[in-house]
Amino acid sequence: MEVKRLFDLLPFHKENFPLKEDFISGKEDGRWIKYNIDQYIDQANNISYGLLDLGVKPGDKIATISNNRPEWNFIDMGVLQTGAIHVPVYPTISESDYKFILNHAEVKYVFVAGKDLIRKIEHVLPEVKSLKGLYTFRKNEDLPHLNKLIERGKNNPQPGKLEELKSKIGSHDIATIIYTSGTTGNPKGVMLSHDNILQNVFAVKDIVNVDHTYKAVSYLPLCHVYERTNIYWFHYKGLSIYYAENMGTIADNIREVKPQVLTTVPRLLEKVYDKILDKGSKLKGVKKMIFNWAVSLGNRYQIEGKNPVYNLQLKLADRLVFSKWRDALGGNLSIVISGGAALQPRLNRVFNAAGIPILEGYGLTETSPVIAVNTVHPGGSKIGTVGKPLANVKVKIAEDGEILCKGPNVMKGYFKQPDLTDMAIDNQGWFHTGDVGVIEPEGHLKITGRKKEIFKTSLGKYISPQLLENKFKESPFIDGIVVLGENQKYAAALIVPDFVHLKSWCDNKGIEFTSSGDIIKHPEVKAAYKKEIDHYNKFFGSTEKIQRFELLDHEFTLETGELTANLKLKRNFISEKYKEEIERLFK
């Protein structure tokens, strides 16, 4: 059958793939709860019937606020089949953002995971005049459970009416409104049609060689279009999907499931690599020498490398070191797709050398999301780039360096904000990404910065902070960095140390690591960071070099406010929160 609407993926899967008990799975109370395609379809249909019995009509907005779990998918398909619009919301945003989104979207019903999230929104619910009801996934004496809606659907089935509604839903109808987290101001509601997302699925489906025997572990939030489109892609290719319990259990879940596929953001890869290096630093004698040799070899890896001596060394390193890395990640992981932020080239090289290919891609919520991605095919991958544009997407670089794109994946517009839509999509249909980049001779796209983040020093020199930050983060000493210097005489930086690596370094140097606050003041530690800064400064011109830096004693997190829900820097917030530290940098 032809897939024209997102909910068509369910009968398509049933028709094309053998029945398996783990099509979609989540972990509850220490055990995996698995669903096959028939159970998935039944749950989605009963949710549709329940919503119809509640009076939900095409165009109504239904919100979900939840972590990843199979119920999220059941609701997603159940909502879409009725012609209603799914509004997925991050579980980590502020109370004011919840209030804005629920009111702006005129949400009728909300599905929320449990007590913690209910506490976050209960104060704003009385102010959402459009709201008719709320359901939860966990038992709560005061609120109806999702099962109550499912039972309502079972008791009031309307298959004829549902099929009639489905037949009237067109591929270009709005399927979802996704509110971008934004770094300033209110979130914007990105309207995506069934066709927007499906055209992206069709364009990425063959970037890697996967089939219905493969398993994928998912941990990135489904409310973000990146993971959501990945999940639809897995549906289309027949993969089994396992939802990790949370970020703290992701490594254990990967070892349990032994997946072949993982979609991720660079942050997780950085943490995995740091743990590997930390364990390596504790080795002694010959074992430590072999470990360090293998890592050094990995850092020189080239895709499609033809050096026979290097390849022989790599085989030896694989047997002695890298095979153990793969075992620690379940033993079957054969492809990792990274997006959402820039990936450090050194990580890409060393993981590829270790037999865990990483394919970096690029896109935005407004582009459903993929614009370009590296592939496993000959000439399809180049480290340091985000790959070639998808076959159905056109990309060009504007005179000022901004990346523009055009294709069936570009959004319908911003909900209730036609003025912002007109600013984002010009009269020739080109979407303005706000990112700056170049297209390399082989056709790969390279991101060099964010247009709005480029600043000018008082000497009139332009600096792209993201370009510097990505390079300096190659240092194992640096976990996070913010480059500053607008209207100043020079560039400076706030640096978040990689405390795992720093502790290992201190142990080797015989320096007592009492606390992060004390250790960043230690003269030898400061000297070590000065040495790192001097090394990476060599890659930049004299006006771009970081002249001064300040070490911070804690990581940037969602909870402390420095990161958006999709883990990007909130530069304005950081500038205000660390005002005193920044002032010291430019005294």
Architecture of the domain delimited by 1-19+33-170: 3-Layer(aba) Sandwich (3.40)
Contact status, residue 339 vs residue 229, Cβ threshold 8 Å:
no
Instruction: Give the number of residues written for the chain.
Output: 587
Question: What tens digit of pLDDT does each residue of 143-164 get?
Answer: 899 999 999 999 999 999 999 9
Question: What tens digit of pLDDT does each residue of 46-84 get?
Answer: 999 999 999 999 999 999 999 999 999 999 999 999 999
Residue 113 CB partners (closer than 8 Å, separation 6+): 65, 66, 67, 69, 91, 136, 137, 138
pLDDT band at 555 (very low <50, low <70, confident <90, very high): very high
Question: What tens digit of pLDDT does each residue of 133-143 get?
Answer: 999 987 776 78
pLDDT score of 86 more than 60? yes
What does the pLDDT read at residue 141? 67
What does the pLDDT read at residue 458? 84
What does the pLDDT read at residue 16? 97
Residue 438 CB partners (closer than 8 Å, separation 6+): 397, 401, 445, 446, 448
Q: How far is CA 31 from the centre of its chain?
A: 26
Q: Where are the domains of the chain?
A: 1-19+33-170, 194-408+432-448, 454-585
Q: What is the mean pLDDT of the chain?
A: 94
Architecture of the domain delimited by 194-408+432-448: 3-Layer(aba) Sandwich (3.40)
Mean pLDDT of 284-299: 95
Distance in angstroms (rounded) separating the CA atoms of residues 369 and 410: 8
What does the pLDDT read at residue 186? 87
Distance in angstroms (rounded) separating the CA atoms of residues 197 and 177: 12
What does the pLDDT read at residue 184? 55
Q: Do the domains spanning 1-19+33-170 and 194-408+432-448 agree at the CATH topology level?
A: yes
What does the pLDDT read at residue 138? 79
Mean pLDDT of 294-300: 95
Has domain 454-585 been given CATH number 1.10.3720.10?
no
pLDDT score of 115 more than 90? no
Mean pLDDT of 88-115: 93
pLDDT score of 475 more than 70? yes
Alpha-helix runs per DSSP H in 340-482: 345-353, 418-424, 465-472
Of 336, 306, 443, residue with least CA distance to 380:
443
Query: Could you say which DSSP state residue 320 is in?
Result: I
pLDDT score of 182 more than 70? no
CA dihedral 368, 371, 374, 380 (to 10 degrees): 130
Mean pLDDT of 376-403: 96
Mean pLDDT of 218-228: 94
The interaxial angle of helices 70-81 and 159-168, nearest 10 deg, is 80
pLDDT score of 305 more than 90? no
pLDDT band at 324 (very low <50, low <70, confident <90, very high): very high
Tokens representing 16 are: 């094309």
pLDDT score of 566 more than 80? no
